[in-house]
Chain A
Amino acid sequence: MKRSRVPLVATVAMLVFFYLPIMVLVINSFNASRFGSTWEGWSLRWYLRLLHEREIWYALKNSLIIAFGASFVSVLIGTAAAFALHRYASRLQKTHYAMIFAPLVMPEILMGIGLLLFFVALGVNLGLFTIFLAHVTFCISYVAMVVLGRLQDFDFSIIEAAQDLGANWWTVTWRVLVPLLMPGIVAGGLLAFTLSIDDFVITFFVAGPGSTTLPIRIYSMIKHGSPPLINALSTILLVVTFTAVWFSQRLMEDAK
């Protein structure tokens, strides 16, 4: 039976579509020219220049603080949520699931303005702490979904076997459940970390003076700054995320 070539062609086209802009960006980051339009030979000057951009380093520090904090807290909360969703089939969990799911599709701008007005109404000063709270909020859902995905093919008779062998609730959790779910938890944490460090829209709404994060810095560079510098910075970030994704996928695969 002959198979159509359309699916293959579409897939190749999609990959080209995805990677063409990224490749151009990466190549341009090594372009000595100040303007991306002409090629003036390979150069690392933009990377070296980055070293002297103190504002970028400052923004990076903020981003890292938030990303570590937000991913840690959201992993704790998200994993518990995933467990609840998987283990119980009550009406409570239906509502719970809707609550976890909604932030995934809700346009970011709505979450951003909601949190902004909420903080303003409460009189909270906008800053790193409000960004942290906002990031945890959207990371919980992603972590919960990733861990839930792992739980779907988790054999719960293992827990019963452990109980049968005399393990109590505490032992089951820490000796059986957590180690087996570790790959999912780490993958969820990595996702939360990258989402947090990449987020612009929500952060933009709840950021205050002095709490510039890396994406906010990049945004103002795009609006006003020098393109070659953004190219170089973007390339570094791309390498970091690609490595993180590769690593988390390896984790998920090894566990299977």
Chain B
Amino acid sequence: MKNRRSVLEILVTLPSALWLAIFFLVPTVVVMAIAFKPTNPYGGVGTGWTVATWLSLGNPSYPAILWRTLWLSLLTTAASIVFAVPVGYYLARIRKRWRQFLLLLIIVPFWTSFLIRIFAWKVLLHPDGFIKKGLVFLHLAGDGASLLYNPWAVLLVMIYSYVPFAVLPIYAAAERFDFQLIEAARDLGAKQWQSFLKVFLPGIRRGLLTAVLMVFIPALGSYLIPDLVGGPDSEMIGNKIAQRVFVDRNLPHASALSSLLTLAVLLPMTVVLFLPGRRGRPDLMAGEGK
């Protein structure tokens, strides 16, 4: 029986493990390897090994881009959490039917095409769009000011895109939170805000941490958003990677940048993976969505 069981385990584990090993792990290693390869003149990879690519990352334009990537991601994360906490709280407190409906409303846009959602913002923020016109009418913006193609547009659309990644884990944690603890705190003399800070937030801290990482990690790798609504002063590391691949055809350079990003991502990701949640797994999948 014991033997039979482990055969079955291998049988159901193997397909996914093998597939992901070949098409996910190996490629990641390949990227790291190519970062140490020289370029060849035909836009391919040369022979031998070199650290020249890494040294060229010291080029002054890179630190600026890395720094921008970091602060845009951090701001996105902070704003998403601040926005998501009250929403998660609200969802956890309302009646079940109503909650399912709202949850669906929050998830649905994120099943729809990422491209289309960014495009929708492009239309909305367009110089001829009604937001711009409204701002000009209220004298809050000059006629020449552009709402698009700057880091703030990137930040706005990033928050828009990543906030659900914060809502879902926070809601999942809030739903498991025992709201009687808030009553207990009030009963022991805490005011509303005190019970929120001292009992609710610590009570959902795992969900908060997961939310931070679920927003921060993908935000670091943003590419499409700065590409479509950002300008030259809002490029992020993802854009540089794409440029090296599609414009300059400098694969080692793209690989070095990707390796850097991978390392930046790996660090927080290890934290999530080893953060014990229910059944020793991260608390992510409450909403079963993207």
A–B touching in complex (CB under 8 Å): yes
Interface residues of B in 258-290 (CB under 8 A from A): 258, 261-262, 265, 269, 272-273, 280-282, 284-285, 288-290
Expressed in whole angstroms, the minimum distance between the Cβ of A107 and any Cβ of chain B is 2
Given the contacts A105-B269, A215-B115, A227-B123, A113 and B224 also touching, CB distance less than 8 Å: no
Given the contacts A99-B25, A109-B242, A84 and B109 also touching, CB distance less than 8 Å: no
Q: How far is the CA of A97 from the CA of B117 in the complex (A)?
A: 31
Contact partners of A194 in chain B: CB under 8 A: 111
Which of A46-54, A154-162, A238-246 forms contacts with chain B?
A238-246
B238 at the interface (CB under 8 A from A): yes
Scan B160-171; emit 1 where CB is below 8 A from any A CB, else 0: 100100010000
With both beta carbons as reference points, the residue of chain B lying nearest to A145 in the complex is identified as: B285
With both beta carbons as reference points, the residue of chain B lying nearest to A194 in the complex is identified as: B111
Interface residues of A in 38-85 (CB under 8 A from B): 76-78, 80-81, 83-84
Expressed in whole angstroms, the minimum distance between the Cβ of A218 and any Cβ of chain B is 5
Q: How far is the CA of A98 from the CA of B17 in the complex (A)?
A: 10
With both beta carbons as reference points, the residue of chain B lying nearest to A234 in the complex is identified as: B116
Given the contacts A11-B91, A145-B285, A105 and B213 also touching, CB distance less than 8 Å: yes
* Among candidates B93, B105, B116, B222, residue contacting A25 with C-beta atoms closer than 8 Å: B116
Contact partners of B20 in chain A: CB under 8 A: 99-100, 103, 137, 140-141
Expressed in whole angstroms, the minimum distance between the Cβ of A55 and any Cβ of chain B is 16
* Among candidates A7, A121, A140, A230, residue contacting B119 with C-beta atoms closer than 8 Å: A230
Interface SS of chain A: helix, strand, loop or mixed?
helix
Interface residues of A in 143-202 (CB under 8 A from B): 144-146, 148-149, 169, 187, 191, 194-195, 198, 200-201
* Among candidates A4, A87, A237, residue contacting B192 with C-beta atoms closer than 8 Å: A4
A131 at the interface (CB under 8 A from B): no
Expressed in whole angstroms, the minimum distance between the Cβ of B200 and any Cβ of chain A is 11
**Most-contacted residue by chain B among A7, A97, A238 (CB, 10 A):** A7
Task: Tell me whether A10 and B12 are in contact (CB under 8 A).
Answer: no
Task: Tell me whether A114 and B31 are in contact (CB under 8 A).
Answer: yes
Q: How far is the CA of A194 from the CA of B110 in the complex (A)?
A: 10
Task: Tell me whether B223 and A109 are in contact (CB under 8 A).
Answer: yes
Scan A103-140; emit 1 where CB is below 8 A from any B CB, else 0: 11111111101111110110000000000011011001
A205 at the interface (CB under 8 A from B): yes
* Among candidates A14, A136, A227, residue contacting B106 with C-beta atoms closer than 8 Å: A14
Scan B120-146; emit 1 where CB is below 8 A from any A CB, else 0: 111110101110000000000000000
Task: Tell me whether B17 and A99 are in contact (CB under 8 A).
Answer: yes
* Among candidates B11, B45, B87, B115, residue contacting A14 with C-beta atoms closer than 8 Å: B87
B178 at the interface (CB under 8 A from A): no
Task: Tell me whether B224 and A11 are in contact (CB under 8 A).
Answer: no
Task: Tell me whether B113 and A231 are in contact (CB under 8 A).
Answer: no
Q: How far is the CA of A100 from the CA of B20 in the complex (A)?
A: 8
Q: How far is the CA of A134 from the CA of B20 in the complex (A)?
A: 10
With both beta carbons as reference points, the residue of chain A lying nearest to B257 in the complex is identified as: A113
With both beta carbons as reference points, the residue of chain A lying nearest to B88 in the complex is identified as: A7
B233 at the interface (CB under 8 A from A): no
| A-B contact list, 14 entries, CB within 8 Å | A18-B109, A21-B117, A21-B123, A96-B13, A99-B20, A107-B217, A107-B222, A109-B238, A137-B19, A140-B16, A142-B290, A200-B224, A201-B224, A234-B116
